[in-house]
């Protein structure tokens, strides 16, 4: 650790507290009082520069990655454009402060944010770190009174991760753009270090499913009854030999041990014999006692898993809801890999368990949990309800929205249950024998009875999807050996083995944690990235890889094998943890990773020695002898060759349905697609208005009609019968052909039945309905991406069905416009209305816009986070979203690129206008451009001067005061 500032004693005046999130500000301000001013950095204020943000004099050193790899991997940082207003506000507050408390989160990310704040703000007053894990009055006051120094090792670990990810992504991603993407930088493809390993895991699971060979087997079920009580039994043995079960087969459909395999004929014959027997004898009754212990309190990982299993929340959604609960002061910090509870929390959980379930609900001694992970931060607590006394979910019903209520309930139950007594049970297994003709059939049934529920009174952990057939637990009546039971409803049952289930978000998080890939705080973002990149899609809860993911993983496996190796990826996380503990030096580790060492091949060596990569082969998967799946610019398709055709004949292209998962593209399914009649490309006739042919086609995005030019007849030499080619005109530039008119078919139309008249109607759209007599604007009816609608200027109205496009009259259209504009797809109507925003004083509304639901007060629009139920938004949540958006400030405007001559002219015009009238010129676009250039030049010069000044500082000076440069020399920091 380093002392941030030892020059002056802590002052007694105004203290500036900087937190990460604006939603924390109000609560913390109230707890600390008027002697403090609490402001927010709204997350990170700066990051590694993009290529265009690097000054010309820095291009040589930092131009490739914004990192000087030859000079101890020195990073070049810039303040985010969206954070200039935030930084200005913080600097304003700093002028009146006698002390600064950096109260960002207590993890690596929070430590790095605190360090960046020091670098940018350059405070000349004492600066300390303020750490808290729950937002309660006692916790905040305790944190303010017991501050600590900035932990540079944590900053180093976070910076190493950021540098590592930049080097990895910017070296590997361009290979994907060239060999898998469309060949242009800017495609959605990327090769993040951890996301690549996660994508590989999902693809490998799909490969296992594709290679899986299903096996079939039969057994028999029957209903056994005694004195009115009945239970289901299942055939277990036949003449003493075990009957085949799903677990007896491997993934190739082969038996792993000697068992009896019944086919359908044998199973039906056996069922008939058992039915004829009618009775069974109890041969054995076994009762075994057992206990179950509660699970540890939630970590980030286990919370994401349970929220997925029990609440169907994505990892990202769960973390967003948990963040809100933390910031509102209802739970402790939600990014933790520790399962430990404080003495205060243990007492609260035990007291609540006793109050709700009685004295016997808790064991004599408190339960103490320890993390299995060697790198777990035991200084943190597990995720639990905050405070000395836990608030019950019912008591917070009016303070939480629906998702917050559900997640808080889950956290509360898990925490209370973790301190409760073991559950006690007894499992009874009954074995029945039936004389079935010449054979002896043995049936079994199991049942579990809890003699003491213990922690199960409060909570039971969810389970992931199981594979193959498992005997269901049930309640069994009391029976004794020798009892005779009646047997009925005997039914032969056919079964097929099933492949491993696809990963869900919950099971993928569990697998990532087991392999040591990533950290709990990154799992949600990892899954979010592979979904956003199109590598994976969701089918229900299951994660299904795309063919794009197959190509990406194949490239990484064949050419970057070390980098996507699971053990190597996990080892990187261990190394980052070692840096965070101060046991490893940042610069030495990065040199080994990038340039190589005795232990590993460096990233640079791998990228520089890739050799030739066959992109066509990389994007190909052989399905049958004649059909190959290829992934092209517009997605996957089948390329089918005809063995009897000429060698130079073009292969046939067959589209693949978008909803077809990779493991469903079997050879049989491929042949079905190949043999299917080709729909589309059918000539409907000639358009009498222009002589063009009208053709119906079936495209990747649905059926459509199109006008095409009729082929001109070829000129033939009458004497020789040969086709005469028209002479080419030299020096004449060929004009671009006009785009053919195209129109999608309505959902009610079919490629096979659409006729010429209907096609001409479609091509004539949009249809002019008439003119609004009030405004004089033309009203048109047309078909769009979201269905049929009317348009009048910029105002639109949805139609009830597609037929109305051709049928609606002007009177009906005017009546539509006279109706209030409301509904799911109408952006101008409010889905919900709330009270006035406390800042702007204007009423808040929940609306649905082009890019999804959002909250607005008429001045500020805040998008509802993806995955959050818009209709569950409360007034408090709406205020929170608006506050967050307002704190971030407006998004930077993108300026269009301009040609050099125009730029020069604009500059001259600006100069002239500035001389004539500075005030007027300042309002013009040209003057704004000049002012922006001047500001940028000054900023660059200031940054350059600051960088040179910092480079000249000694280690001692660096330790005593925060650095202000946008670049950082590792030796100075690590000395």
- Tell me which residues are annotated as active site: 333
Rounded to the nearest angstrom, the gap between the alpha carbon of residue 191 and the centroid of all alpha carbons in its chain is: 15
Query: How long a stretch of residues is the chain?
Result: 975
Q: How many CB atoms lie within 10 A of CB 777?
A: 13
Closest CA to 107 of 575, 582, 519, 589: 519
Tokens standing for residue 463: 């389970």
Integer angstrom CA distances of residue 303 from 150, 187, 320, 505, 547: 29, 34, 12, 12, 31
If you ran DSSP here, which 8-state letter would residue 68 be given? E
CA dihedral 108, 111, 116, 117 (to 10 degrees): 150
Q: For the chain, how are helix, strand and coil distributed in percent, rounded to 5?
A: 40, 20, 40
Task: Tell me which residue has tokens 């304003």.
Answer: 92
Cis peptide before 766 (omega within 30 of 0): yes
Please state the φ and ψ torsions of residue 582, each to the nearest 5 degrees.
Answer: 80, 15
Closest C-alpha among 49, 485, 496 to residue 283: 485
Rounded to 5°, angle at Cα 283 from 281 and 287: 125
H or E segment and range at residue 762 = helix 756-763
Query: φ, ψ for residue 701 (rounded to 5)?
Result: -105, 25
CB 219 within 8 A of CB 234: yes
Paired with 74 in beta bridges are 68
840/858 Cα distance (integer angstroms): 9
Q: CA 544, 545, 548 angle in degrees (round to 5)?
A: 150
Q: What is the DSSP-derived secondary structure letter of residue 435? A: E
The per-residue DSSP string of 936-949 comes to HHHHHHHHHHHHHH
CA distance 100 to 104: 12
Residue 796 to residue 828: CA distance in whole angstroms: 10
Give the DSSP H or E segment for 834.
Answer: strand 830-836
- In Å, how far are 555, 603, 623, 648, 755 from 614, measured between CA atoms? 10, 21, 19, 21, 45
**Count of C-beta atoms within a 10 Å radius of residue 31:** 20
Question: How many distinct helices (H) and strands (E) make up the chain?
Answer: 29, 33
What single DSSP character describes residue 393? Answer: G
**How far is it, in rounded angstroms, from Cα 436 to Cα 269?**
10
Beta strands in 610-691 (DSSP E): 620-622, 627-632, 635-640, 652-655, 682-686
What is the C-alpha to C-alpha distance for residues 949 and 964, in angstroms, rounded to an integer?
A: 9
Instruction: Read off the tokens for 444.
Output: 């079994």
State how far the Cα of 686 lies from the Cα of 709, in Å rounded to an integer: 10
CA atoms within 13 A on the CB side of 856: 14
């Amino acid at each position: 650790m380093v002392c941030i500032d030892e020059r002056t004693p802590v002052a007694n005046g105004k203290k500036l507290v900087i937190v990460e999130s604006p939603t924390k500000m109000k609560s913390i301000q109230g707890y600390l009082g008027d002697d403090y001013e609490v402001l927010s950095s709204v997350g990170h204020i700066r990051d590694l520069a993009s290529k265009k943000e690097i000054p010309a004099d820095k291009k040589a050193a930092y131009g490739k990655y914004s990192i000087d790899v030859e000079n101890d991997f020195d990073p070049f940082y810039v303040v985010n454009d969206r954070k200039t207003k935030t930084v200005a506000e913080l600097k304003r507050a700093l002028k009146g402060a006698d002390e600064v408390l950096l109260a960002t989160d207590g993890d690596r990310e929070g430590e790095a944010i605190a360090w960046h704040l020091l670098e940018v703000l350059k405070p000349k007053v004492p600066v300390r770190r303020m750490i808290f894990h729950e937002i309660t009055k006692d916790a905040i006051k305790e944190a303010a009174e017991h501050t600590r120094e900035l932990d540079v090792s944590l900053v180093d670990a976070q910076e190493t991760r950021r540098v590592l990810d930049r080097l990895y992504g910017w070296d590997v991603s361009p290979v994907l753009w060239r060999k898998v993407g469309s060949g242009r930088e800017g495609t959605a493809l990327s090769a993040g270090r951890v996301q690549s390993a996660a994508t590989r895991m999902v693809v490998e699971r799909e490969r296992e499913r594709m290679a899986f060979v299903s096996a079939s087997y039969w057994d028999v079920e029957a209903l056994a009854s005694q004195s009115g009580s009945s239970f289901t039994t299942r055939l277990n043995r036949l003449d003493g030999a075990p009957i085949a079960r799903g677990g007896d087969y491997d993934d190739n459909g082969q038996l792993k041990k000697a068992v009896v395999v019944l086919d359908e004929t044998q199973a039906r014959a056996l069922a008939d014999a058992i039915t004829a027997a009618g009775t069974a004898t109890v041969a054995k009754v076994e009762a075994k006692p057992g206990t179950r212990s509660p699970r540890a309190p939630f970590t980030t990982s286990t919370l994401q898993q349970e929220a997925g299993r029990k609440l169907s929340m994505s990892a990202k959604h769960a973390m967003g809801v948990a963040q809100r609960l933390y910031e509102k002061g209802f739970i402790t910090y939600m990014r933790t890999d520790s399962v430990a509870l404080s003495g205060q929390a243990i007492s609260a959980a035990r007291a609540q368990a006793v109050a709700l379930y009685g004295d016997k609900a808790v064991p004599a001694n408190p339960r103490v949990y320890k993390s299995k992970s060697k790198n777990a931060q035991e200084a943190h607590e597990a995720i639990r309800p905050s405070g000395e006394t836990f608030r019950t979910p019912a008591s917070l019903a009016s303070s939480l929205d629906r998702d917050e209520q559900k997640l808080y309930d889950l956290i509360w139950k898990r925490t209370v249950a973790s301190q409760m007594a073991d559950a006690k049970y007894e499992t009874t297994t009954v074995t029945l024998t039936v004389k079935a003709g010449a054979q002896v059939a043995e049936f079994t049934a199991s049942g579990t009875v809890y003699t003491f529920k213990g922690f199960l009174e409060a909570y039971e952990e969810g389970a992931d999807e199981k594979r193959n057939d498992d005997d269901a637990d049930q309640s069994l009546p009391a029976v004794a050996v020798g009892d005779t039971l009646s047997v009925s409803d005997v039914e032969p049952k056919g079964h097929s083995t099933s492949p491993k289930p696809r990963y869900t978000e919950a099971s993928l998080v569990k697998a990532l944690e087991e392999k040591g890939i990533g950290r709990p705080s990154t799992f949600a973002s990892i899954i979010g990235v592979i979904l956003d990149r199109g590598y994976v899609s969701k089918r229900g809860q299951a994660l299904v890889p795309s063919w794009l993911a197959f190509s990406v993983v194949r490239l990484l496996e064949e050419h970057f094998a070390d980098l996507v190796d699971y053990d190597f990826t996990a080892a990187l996380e261990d190394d980052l943890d070692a840096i965070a503990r101060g046991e490893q030096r940042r610069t030495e580790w990065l040199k080994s990773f990038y340039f190589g060492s005795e232990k590993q091949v460096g990233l640079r060596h791998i990228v520089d020695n890739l050799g030739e990569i066959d992109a066509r082969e990389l994007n190909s998967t052989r399905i049958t002898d004649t059909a190959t799946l290829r992934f092209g610019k517009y997605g996957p398709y089948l390329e089918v060759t005809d063995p009897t055709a000429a060698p130079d004949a073009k292969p046939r292209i067959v589209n693949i349905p978008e909803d077809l998962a990779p493991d469903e593209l079997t050879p049989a399914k491929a042949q079905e697609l190949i043999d299917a009649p080709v729909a589309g490309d059918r000539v409907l006739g000639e358009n009498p208005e222009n002589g063009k042919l009208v053709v119906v086609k079936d495209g990747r995005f649905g059926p459509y009609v199109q006008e095409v030019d009729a082929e001109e007849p070829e000129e033939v030499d009458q004497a020789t019968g040969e086709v005469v080619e028209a002479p080419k005109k030299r020096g004449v530039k060929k004009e671009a052909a006009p785009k053919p008119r195209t129109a999608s078919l309505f959902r009610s139309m079919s490629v096979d039945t659409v006729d010429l008249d209907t096609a001409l109607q479609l091509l004539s759209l949009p249809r002019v309905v008439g003119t609004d007599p009030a405004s004089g604007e033309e009203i048109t009816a047309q078909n769009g991406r979201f269905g049929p609608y009317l348009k009048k200027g910029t105002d639109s109205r949805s139609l009830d069905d597609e037929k109305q496009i051709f049928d609606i009259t002007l009177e009906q259209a005017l009546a539509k416009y006279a109706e209030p504009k409301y509904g799911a797809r109408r952006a101008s109507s409010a889905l919900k209305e709330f009270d006035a925003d406390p800042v702007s004083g204007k009423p808040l509304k929940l609306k649905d816009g082009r890019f999804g639901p959002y909250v607005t007060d008429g001045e500020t629009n805040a998008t509802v986070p993806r995955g959050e139920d818009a209709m569950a938004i409360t007034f408090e949540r709406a205020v929170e979203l608006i506050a967050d958006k307002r704190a971030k400030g407006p998004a930077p405007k993108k300026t269009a690129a301009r040609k050099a001559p125009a730029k020069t002219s604009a500059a001259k015009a600006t100069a002239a206008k500035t001389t004539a009238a500075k005030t007027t010129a300042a309002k013009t676009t040209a003057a704004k451009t000049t002012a922006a250039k001047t500001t940028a030049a000054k900023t660059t010069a200031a940054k350059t001067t600051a960088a040179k000044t910092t480079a000249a500082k000694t280690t001692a000076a660096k330790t005593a005061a925060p650095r202000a440069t946008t670049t950082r020399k590792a030796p100075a920091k690590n000395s």
